Amino acid sequence: MLLHVWLASMVLITAAPASRQLPGQRESCAALSPSVPPHDSVQRYLWTLPPLRCRAYQREAARLDTEMTTQGMVEAIDQATNELRPLVLALARYYPPGQFGSDPQAYIDSVFRFQARWYWLASQPDGVGNSGTMHRITMAYGYLGIIETMVQDLASGLVADDPEFPWDEWRRAWQHDATAAPN
């Protein structure tokens, strides 16, 4: 299964058509590759993740450029979240069997639901349902942030004991804003 997820992510990287360069974009997703080739499968897989995130954000940004409704904007953000969510399970499979219980997908889903519920409640100081339509967009970005943090936490754990892994470089690549205007 892990090999299947890894191969699927590699197909996305190599077979995906080149993304349209967005106005003001600093650099392409291809520029997020490592300066030093990784030497094992975990590192190779980790270096496939920043370009996947970059492309998900580019698709989201392209769709947000044309959306005029709250629902459409939420759907665009959710699309990026759904593209990145399988990466959490793929990374969890690099951990020892049983690390995340007998069903890692169920465990990951429960962690996400708990964090999402917490974020939902904490972001409505005037009470649930009193935050207006923009709250839905804020929440969609919050859910995306939960998934990104889970990926980063798992990646960090996988290479924490490897002094040769360029963690700061990987983290910068993972957090790269593919849609930001140049400074």
Please state at what angle helix 70-92 crosses helix 134-159, rounded to 10 degrees: 20
The series of mean pLDDT values per 10 residues for the chain, 183 residues long, is: 35 32 45 52 91 89 82 90 93 93 94 89 81 82 92 95 92 78 36
Task: Output the six-digit token pair for 117.
Answer: 């519920």
Task: Output the six-digit token pair for 113.
Answer: 């639901």
pLDDT of residue 28: 57
Ramachandran angles phi, psi of 136, nearest 5°: -60, -40
Q: Which residue has the tokens 């090999």?
A: 3
pLDDT of residue 124: 82
Residues 6+ apart with CB under 8 A from 26: 177, 178, 180, 181, 182
Task: Answer whether 2's CB lies under 8 Å from 94's CB.
Answer: yes
pLDDT of residue 131: 76
> Is the whole model's pTM more than 0.95, yes or no?
no
